[in-house]
Amino acid sequence: MIDEKFLATQVISIHTWSDTLFSFTVTRPDSFRFTAGQFARIGILVDGELIVRAYSVVSSPYDEYLEFFSIVVPDGAFTSRLQHLQLGDTLYIEKVPYGFLTLARYQQPAPQDLWLLATGTGVAPFISMLQDFKTWEDYQHIILVYSVRTAQELAYQDKIAEIKALFADEPAKLTFIPIVTREVVQGALNQRLPQLIASGELERVAELKFDVTRSHVMLCGNPQMVEDTKESLKAIGLTMNRRGEGNIAVENYW
């Protein structure tokens, strides 16, 4: 029996990015509302038991469907089954979204420059934020930095270009900076985020400085990246966001 906290949804599309990465969309229950940056708890029925995991929402708060981005964990109780989804399969989503990696958490400094720093599937909440009109209304500069190991893992490039074109007439400017750490790829940086911050290379490529009076910086992805990058940002004077004040907000998405 399915817990009454969960609603049934149907799989409507599946996309394979690499051997270890895939995304999928499901029907959106009419009652499910979320803020860009939040995550949903998704369940899959296995031998009569509902196994549940948390996934940040990729899609816009205005979309009629829900999209999620997943890594494949070999022999994992959840993703090893999730990766074999078929169109029309049933998944379950908890009625209430979760998470505080949202732009509403920032009170001071006032919104001017938004840095979105992600590794792997941690880019998911940032794709959602970039599809929210309010993000473009509130900020002057938006920098999306997306770090992966190999070029094949650099997902959502077409979507990012589509978003940039869609909001081309807005005052805000979007700069996309890809990073590929284990291959040399034309147009992409090649070092880890902490090194790029410490050397000033990330600011040089972005043509924008981290500034304690202007910068909102969000980190999402591999916990080690989040920790190391957070320390690099603190070393150049930025502060953790607490009770609405400060620059840095983090989420370990793993």
Asked if residue 197 lies in contact with residue 187, where contact means CB atoms within 8 angstroms, the answer is no
Q: Read off the DSSP letter of residue 138.
A: H
Task: Give residue-wise pLDDT tens across range 142-163.
Answer: 999 999 999 999 999 999 999 9
> What is the reported pLDDT for 74?
76
* Sign of the alpha-carbon dihedral angle for 179, 185, 187, 189: positive
Q: Which two tokens stand for residue 250?
A: 């983090």
If you ran DSSP here, which 8-state letter would residue 28 be given?
P
Banded pLDDT at 254 (limits 50, 70, 90): low
Q: What are phi and psi of 87, to 5 degrees?
A: -55, 135
Distance, in Å, from the CA atom of 144 to the CA atom of 246, rounded to the nearest integer, reads 19
Is the pLDDT at 251 greater than 80? The verdict is: yes
Q: Quickly state the pLDDT bin for 47 (edges 50, 70, 90).
A: confident
Residue 31 corresponds to which tokens in the numbers above?
Answer: 């009652």
Handedness of CA 130, 43, 155, 217 (dihedral sign): positive
pLDDT in tens, 68-89: 999 988 777 787 778 788 999 9
Q: Which tens digit of pLDDT belongs to each residue from 93-118?
A: 999 999 999 999 999 999 999 999 99
Instruction: Look up residue 97 and give its DSSP letter.
Output: -
Q: Against a cut of 0.85, is the pTM above it?
A: yes
Tens digits of residue pLDDT in 179-230: 999 999 999 999 999 999 999 999 999 999 999 999 999 999 999 999 999 9
pLDDT score recorded for residue 39: 96
Q: How many residues does the chain have?
A: 254
Three-state SS string over 172-192 comes to CEEEEEEEECCCCCCCCECCC
Which residues lie closer than 8 Å to 87 by C-beta, 6 or more apart? 11, 12, 13, 14
Strands (E), 17-111: 21-27, 39-46, 49-56, 65-71, 90-94
Q: In what order do the strands lie in the sheet with 113-119?
A: 173-180, 141-148, 113-119, 215-221, 248-252
Is the predicted pLDDT of residue 253 greater than 70, yes or no? no
